[in-house]
Amino acid sequence: MTSKEMAMTVAKILDGKKAIDIQAIEIKDLSTIGDYFVIASGSSNSQVKALSDAVEEAMSALGFEPRRIEGYQSAMWIVLDYYDVIVHIFYEKTREFYALERLWADAPRVELPVEK
């Protein structure tokens, strides 16, 4: 599975669990930390955790384990690091505050097969 296919797969998983405003950003030409960010929001801490659990479970079933997971306890901003694809799941207000998409404004957006 390519990193772009992985980003698309993660986006579909998040969409299936009703994540809010799912976006993918291609960072491979701007950073060495990975190829893609997949960014989504949940409307509550419980939903943020549920979205993280859904991604981790589905990706594990496909044979992919995250290198690291950060922020699960507070569930304000959970990061799942799948090496080339880094998944950011925010509580809505936290996403507005950090504005990750604005920080990476130069990075191309990836068209996703999900409802926006």
pLDDT tens per residue, range 6-28: 999 999 999 999 999 999 999 99
Mean pLDDT of the chain: 92
Distance CA 43, CA 31 (A): 30
Phi-psi region of 109 (alpha: psi -120 to 50; beta: other; left: phi over 0): beta
Question: Where along the chain do its domains lie?
Answer: 3-110
Distance CA 25, CA 10 (A): 13
Architecture of domain 3-110 in CATH? 2-Layer Sandwich (3.30)
- Do residues 55 and 12 make contact, with C-beta atoms less than 8 angstroms apart? no
pLDDT cut 90: percent of the chain above it: 78
